[in-house]
Structure 1
Amino acid sequence: MHAAATLATPAPASAFDRVPGYLAACTAGLPTRETVDAMRSAVDVWAAGRLDASEAGAQLERCRALFATIARVDPAQVATGSQASQLVSVIATAVPDGAEVLCVEQDFASLTHPFEQLSGRGVRVRYAPLDSLAEEIGPDTALVAFSAVQSASGAVADVDAICAAAARAGALTLADLTQSLGWLPVGADRFDFTVCHAYKWLCAPRGVAFLTVRAGLEDRLTPLAAGWYSADDVWSSCYAGHTPLAVGAGRFDVSPAWQAVAGTEPALRLFAELDPRAAHAHAIALSHAASDALELPRRDSAILTWSDPEGADLAAMRAHGIVASGRAGNARVAFHLWNTLEDVDMLAEALRR
Structure 2
Amino acid sequence: MTTLAEARAQFVGGRRYLGACSLGMATSSTLEAMRADQADWAAGRCSPAKYDAVIDRTRASFARLMNVDAGRVAIGSQTSAMVSVLAAAVPAGREVLCVDGDFSSMVFPFVVAQGRGVVVRHVALEALAASITPATHLVAFSLVQSSSGRVADVDAIVAAARANGAFTLCDTTQAAGAMPVDASLFDATVCHAYKWLCAPRGAAFLTLAEGYQQTLAPLQANWYAGEDIWGSCYGPNMNLAADARGFDVSPAWPVWVGAEPAIELFASLDLAEVHAHNVALGDALCDGLGIPRRGQAIVTWPDADGRHLQALVAAGIVASGRAGCARVAFHLWNDSRDVADVLTALAPVP
Residues 17 and 33, structure 1, Cα contact 8 Å, conserved in 2: yes
Cα displacement (A) at 1:42: 1.4
Task: State yes or no: 1:311 paired with 2:276.
Answer: no
* Structure 1 counterpart of 2:75, from 80, 88, 92: 80
Aligned to 1:172: 167
Counterpart residue number, 2:32: 37
The one-letter code matched in structure 2 to 1:327 is R
State whether residues 99 and 140 of structure 1, in contact with CA within 8 Å, keep that contact through their aligned partners in structure 2. Answer: yes
Q: Distance in 1 between matches of 2:195 and 2:136?
A: 30
Please give the per-residue CA displacement for 1:12-56, whole angstroms capped at 9, x wherever unaligned.
111111331000000011111000111111122222222211111
Q: With structure 2 as the length reference, what TM-score do the two structures score?
A: 0.97
Deviations 1:209-228 (A, max 9, x none): 00000123222111111110
Asked whether the 8 Å contact 1:185–1:277 carries over to 2, the reply is yes
From 209, 215, 221, the equivalent of 2:210 is 215
Amino acid at match of 1:132: A
Counterpart position of 1:57:
52
Aligned residue for 2:224? Answer: 229
In the alignment, is residue 199 of structure 1 matched against residue 231 of structure 2? no
* Aligned twin of 1:263: 258
Q: SS at the partner of 2:328?
A: strand
Query: What is the one-letter code of the residue matched to 2:114?
Result: S
Which string of whole-angstrom CA distances, capped at 9 and with x for unpartnered residues, describes residues 232-272 of structure 1?
22101000133211010001101101111000000011011
The alignment yields a C-alpha RMSD, in angstroms, of 1.2
Which amino acid in 1 is paired with 2:60? A
- Give the conservation status (yes or no) of the 8 Å contact 2:172–2:191: yes
Gaps of 5+ in 2: none
Q: Does 1:114 align with 2:141?
A: no
Q: Look up the SS of the partner of 1:152 in the other structure.
A: coil
Alpha-carbon offset, residue 294 of structure 1: 1.4
What aligned pairs does 1:180-195 form with structure 2 within 5 A after superposition?
180-195=175-190
1:20 and 2:35 matched? no
CA deviations over 1:274-299 (Å, ceiling 9, x no partner): 01111111001111111111112101
Q: How many residue pairs are counted as aligned between the two chains?
A: 346
Any conservation in 2 of the 1:10–1:282 contact (CA below 8 Å)?
A: no
Percent identity over the alignment?
Answer: 53
1:326 and 2:321 are equivalent in the alignment = yes
Q: Which residue identity lines up with residue 63 of structure 1 in the other structure? A: T
Deviation (angstroms), 1:95: 1.1
Give, in angstroms, the shift of residue 336 of structure 1: 0.5
Rounded Cα–Cα distance in structure 2 between residues aligned with 1:97 and 1:316: 49
Contact 1:9 1:282 in 2 (8 A): no
Question: What are structure 1's unaligned runs of at least 5 residues?
Answer: 1-7
Aligned position for 1:103? 98
Q: Which residue number in structure 2 is paired with residue 276 of structure 1?
A: 271
